[in-house]
C-alpha cells in the first residue's frame, strides 16, 4: 500500500493512501455483522497495509469505538486511529450539537478507554457547533495535544473561513468531508484552502454510501431501523433511477480498463490531489481487497479528461442530506 501525508510539519501524519471507515460495522448501514467477523476484517486491513482507521463515539453509539479498540489493541503501534467529538448522546442516539470545552475533554477521556489506547492520533470535530467559537474548540484540542492525549486536530464539513480560523489557533491536520464523483462541492474554495494551508483532505462516503458501486438501484430496499439511506433524498427510488446514467459512465469507463465502478470512483479521488486519503467503509473482505487495489491504479490525463467530461454532462438528482442534516454542514 502506498503512503500519503495528511497535514504538514510537526502536525502531519503519514498514512496509507486509503484508510478504512469502520462506521458501517455498527451503524447506519442495515445489517450489523457478527462482531468477530468485523474484528477479523479490521485486522485483515492492517495485514493489507491500511494504517488509518476511522470511527466516532456516535457510531452505535459507542459500540463502534469499542469494536475498533478491541480489533486494533494488539496492533496499536502499527496503526493510526481517528475519532470524533461534537454531539450530545442521549439514550444511545445523537441529541444535538455540543462542542463546549468540557464536553470535548469528556469525549476524549471516554474515547481513549473504549479505544484501549493512551492517545488519539487524529481528533475531529464531527460537526461545527454554532454556539461555540471554533477558536475555542481548536484551543481545547491544542491543550489535549499538549497533555499527550491527542496527536492531531481535524475538522469535518466546515467551510474555508472556519478552517482558516481554527488553523490559526491549532494547525489542522485534516479536513474530513464528503467528496465523490456524485458530490464535488469541495472542489474550488475548500480544496484550494487545504492546499494553501497544508491541510490533508479525507473524503468520507467516497462511493456515495454504496451507490457508486453500481449495486444499488430503484428496486433496492433499505433496512430503515439501522440504515440512514432510507431517509436520504438521494436514495429514494426516483433519485437512484434518475442518477443511473452516472453508474453507466462508471461501468463503461471501468469495463474498458478492467475495473469495477467502485475502483473507478476511488481511483478518481486519489488522482485529484496527492494529499487526499479516502476512507471507504465495508463489512466484507472481498470488497476490502477491491477497494485497496485502487491505490495501484494509474489514469492518464486523457483518462481523467474523458471521465470528467462524461460525468459533467449528468445532472444529479436528490440532495445528499435531509433539511435537518443539511443544517449541520457548511458546504
Could you give the percent of the chain with pLDDT greater than 90? 93
pTM: 0.97
pLDDT in tens, 275-291: 999 999 999 999 999 99
**Structure confidence at residue 330 as a pLDDT band (50, 70, 90):** confident
Alpha-carbon gap, residue 221 to 218, rounded angstroms: 9
Over 70: is that where the pLDDT of 182 sits?
yes
**Structure confidence at residue 65 as a pLDDT band (50, 70, 90):** very high
Catalytic residue chosen out of the listed positions 59, 179, 204, 211: 59
The mean per-residue pLDDT over the stretch 67-87 comes to 98
* Residue 166 and residue 135 in contact, taking contact as beta carbons nearer than 8 Å: yes
* Residue 42 and residue 66 in contact, taking contact as beta carbons nearer than 8 Å: no
The mean per-residue pLDDT over the stretch 204-209 comes to 98
pLDDT of residue 325: 81
The mean per-residue pLDDT over the stretch 248-274 comes to 98
Over 90: is that where the pLDDT of 90 sits?
yes
Complete domains list, the chain, with CATH:
3-326 (3.20.20.100)
pLDDT in tens, 227-255: 999 999 999 999 999 999 999 999 999 99
Is there a catalytic annotation at residue 179?
A: no
Q: Give me the residue label for grid cell 442521549.
A: 90
pLDDT of residue 317: 97
pLDDT greater at residue 108 or residue 327: 108
* Residue 108 and residue 137 in contact, taking contact as beta carbons nearer than 8 Å: no
Mean pLDDT, all residues of the chain: 96
* Residue 127 and residue 96 in contact, taking contact as beta carbons nearer than 8 Å: no
**Structure confidence at residue 331 as a pLDDT band (50, 70, 90):** low
Could you give the percent of the chain with pLDDT greater than 70? 100
pLDDT of residue 324: 78
CA angle 135, 136, 140 (to 5 degrees): 115
pLDDT in tens, 94-114: 889 999 999 999 999 999 999
pLDDT of residue 323: 82
pLDDT greater at residue 142 or residue 222: 142
Q: Which three cell numbers stand for residue 69?
A: 479498540
pLDDT of residue 225: 80
Amino acid at each position: 500500500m502506498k503512503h500519503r501525508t495528511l497535514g504538514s510539519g510537526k502536525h502531519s501524519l503519514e498514512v496509507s493512501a486509503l484508510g478504512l471507515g469502520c462506521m458501517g460495522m455498527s451503524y447506519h448501514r442495515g445489517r450489523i455483522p457478527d462482531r468477530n467477523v468485523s474484528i477479523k476484517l479490521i485486522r485483515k486491513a492492517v495485514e493489507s497495509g491500511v494504517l488509518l482507521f476511522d470511527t466516532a463515539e456516535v457510531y452505535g453509539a459507542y459500540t463502534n469505538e469499542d469494536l475498533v479498540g478491541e480489533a486494533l489493541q494488539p496492533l496499536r503501534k502499527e496503526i493510526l486511529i481517528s475519532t470524533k467529538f461534537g454531539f450530545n448522546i442521549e439514550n444511545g442516539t445523537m441529541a444535538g450539537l455540543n462542542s463546549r470545552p468540557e464536553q470535548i475533554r469528556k469525549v476524549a477521556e471516554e474515547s481513549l478507554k473504549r479505544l484501549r489506547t493512551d492517545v488519539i492520533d487524529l481528533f475531529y470535530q464531527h460537526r461545527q457547533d454554532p454556539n461555540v467559537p471554533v477558536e475555542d474548540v481548536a484551543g481545547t484540542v491544542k491543550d489535549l495535544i499538549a497533555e499527550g492525549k491527542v496527536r492531531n486536530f481535524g475538522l469535518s464539513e466546515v467551510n474555508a473561513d472556519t478552517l482558516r480560523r481554527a488553523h490559526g489557533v491549532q494547525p489542522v491536520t485534516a479536513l474530513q468531508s464528503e467528496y465523490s464523483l456524485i458530490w464535488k462541492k469541495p472542489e474550488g474554495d475548500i480544496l484550494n484552502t487545504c492546499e494553501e494551508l497544508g491541510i490533508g483532505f479525507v473524503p468520507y462516503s467516497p462511493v456515495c454510501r454504496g451507490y457508486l458501486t453500481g449495486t444499488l438501484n430503484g428496486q433496492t430496499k433499505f433496512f430503515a431501523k439501522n440504515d440512514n439511506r432510507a431517509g436520504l433524498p438521494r436514495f429514494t427510488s426516483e433519485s437512484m433511477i434518475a442518477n443511473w446514467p452516472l453508474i453507466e459512465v462508471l461501468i463503461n469507463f471501468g469495463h474498458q480498463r478492467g475495473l469495477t465502478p467502485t475502483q473507478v470512483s476511488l481511483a478518481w479521488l486519489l488522482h485529484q490531489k496527492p494529499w487526499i486519503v479516502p476512507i471507504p467503509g465495508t463489512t466484507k473482505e472481498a470488497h476490502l481487497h477491491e477497494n485497496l487495489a485502487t491505490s495501484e491504479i494509474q489514469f492518464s490525463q486523457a483518462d481523467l479528461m474523458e471521465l470528467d467530461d462524461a460525468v459533467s454532462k449528468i445532472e444529479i438528482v436528490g440532495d445528499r442530506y435531509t433539511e435537518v442534516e443539511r443544517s449541520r454542514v457548511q458546504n
